[in-house]
Structure 1
Amino acid sequence: MKKAFWGVFLLVSFAGFLTIYFIWPKGEDLPVLDKVKNFQLEDVHSEIYDINNNKVKLVAFFYTNCPDVCPLTMVDFKVLQERLKESGLFGEKVHLVAITLDPEYDTAEVLQHYASAFEADSIGWKWLRGTSEETSAIAKDFNMQYAKLENDFFLHSITMYLLDKNNNVRALYDMASVKNSVDTEEILDDMKILVGGTR
């Protein structure tokens, strides 16, 4: 039964990604794929984070008990953090945004400890949590699918979202895996386009 659920879940997620990828016009570098509604969530290093902040944002959903995809992706976020600092974009024009899917376990203290393991700089790398209801609504707005399994593990899609200053979704990327890291160079190039720079 569980194997069947996994199969159907992954098939639906993959079909949705392929639909967006193949039917969307390829005439421009970063077409508008969707728009995200405004939301506010707890920033575990500050108070409240408002997504409507005139920043370019790379958004990833994760949870701290994730055994592979999430921590591997956060390693690549650390690389992006350094590259963005070198480019003068970090914090000032671009935010990295990590939203937990498991706010019940991932308290502010847990997330602060987790962030420190990746040497995250809270000036431009935001770690967010909300209620379970808020998380579900925001994930749905991103067309991001997830489900809680046994032993505090989650099954979740592995898409990351690049938002422009108006919270339009302008690009989609895969999170990291054991075989493939995040394409940080591509993401950095796309971020530069959205903040008005060049490739």
Structure 2
Amino acid sequence: MRWMIRLASWGVLVAAVLLLVTAYVHSRRAKIELVPTTSSLPLYGELPPFSLTAHTGEPIRLDDLRGMVWVANFFFTTCRSICPIMQENVATEVYAALKDNPQVRLVSFTVDPEHDTPQVLAEYARAKGAAPDRWTFVTGAKKDIYHLARKGFKLAAEDTPEYIQDTKHDFIHSEKLVLVDRQGRIRGYYSGLDLEQVRQVVRDVQQLLREEPDQ
């Protein structure tokens, strides 16, 4: 019996590693080009318009976020691999440091919108202690979210291949946190699993706030 438990544990570990490697490969395939800028932070291009649904049930669009510096990431509520670590880092490091600044927003997009309805995300937000006007959890049509992840943020987002679906890891998505400026332009990518990179997000947000004062 013990060897069966060990074998199952190793199976879950191997599957999680495969997911991380696959997400990394897909992220590397995405063509991310730097755009010239006078800022010390790089400029990776502009996000396309989008219209999705916040966990409050209200629509959320790119235009709603203009004028704010925001940090985006992709997750799903039933994830048991990278999401718990990433979201805990976001909560304890980024949200805790920036939650009192009305010019900053955190935006977490689910990659499992069929399960993660506004009601499910609202409960998740309550569990995280997230104020709705500071940390928004977003759902919507799956094709729209995946298109935004791939073409807008240049990140991996897709269903898990069939050969590892029996591990309960049903989606592949990037662990990256993405920094977006007041004009809806991508200014940085950071690993949500690396605590020092997560802390760098806070420093770079503060730098953007200094460089781009609210008009």
TM-score (norm. length: structure 1): 0.80
Task: Give the SS at the match of 1:147.
Answer: strand
Task: Please name the residue that 2:188 is paired with.
Answer: 171
Tell me: CA distance 1:116–1:32, structure 2 relative to 1, closer, same or farther (3 Å). same
- Cα distance in 2 between the residues matched to 1:106 and 1:56: 25
CA contact (8 A) 1:162 1:171 kept: yes
Name the aligned partner's letter for residue 166 of structure 1.
Answer: Q
2:139 to 129, 142, 146: 129
- Cα distance in 1 between the residues matched to 2:20 and 2:74: 21
What do you get for the CA RMSD once the two structures are aligned? 2.8
Task: Please tell me whether residue 112 in structure 1 is matched to residue 122 in structure 2.
Answer: yes
Task: Please tell me whether residue 102 in structure 1 is matched to residue 112 in structure 2.
Answer: yes
CA contact (8 A) 2:57 2:118 kept: no
1:146 to 157, 171, 182: 157
Note the C-alpha offset of 1:125: 0.2
Note the C-alpha offset of 1:162: 0.4
Task: Please name the residue that 1:55 is paired with.
Answer: 68
> Over alpha carbons, which structure has the higher Rg?
2
CA contact (8 A) 2:69 2:180 kept: yes
Note the C-alpha offset of 1:58: 0.3
Task: Give the SS at the match of 1:195.
Answer: helix
User: Percent same amino acid at aligned positions?
Assistant: 25
CA contact (8 A) 2:32 2:154 kept: no
- Cα distance in 2 between the residues matched to 1:55 and 1:38: 15
CA contact (8 A) 2:75 2:110 kept: yes
Task: Please name the residue that 1:157 is paired with.
Answer: 174
CA contact (8 A) 2:113 2:139 kept: yes
Task: Please name the residue that 2:10 is paired with.
Answer: none
Tell me: CA distance 1:110–1:9, structure 2 relative to 1, closer, same or farther (3 Å). same
Structure 2 unmatched ranges of 5 or more: 1-14
Note the C-alpha offset of 1:46: 4.5
Structure 1 or 2: more helix by fraction: 2
Task: Please name the residue that 2:4 is paired with.
Answer: none
- Cα distance in 1 between the residues matched to 2:111 and 2:46: 21
- Cα distance in 1 between the residues matched to 2:159 and 2:88: 24
CA contact (8 A) 1:175 1:182 kept: no
Report how many aligned residue pairs link the two structures.
Answer: 186
- Cα distance in 2 between the residues matched to 1:55 and 1:187: 15
Tell me: CA distance 1:136–1:20, structure 2 relative to 1, closer, same or farther (3 Å). closer
Task: Please name the residue that 2:11 is paired with.
Answer: none
CA contact (8 A) 1:72 1:181 kept: no
Note the C-alpha offset of 1:62: 0.5
CA contact (8 A) 1:65 1:153 kept: no
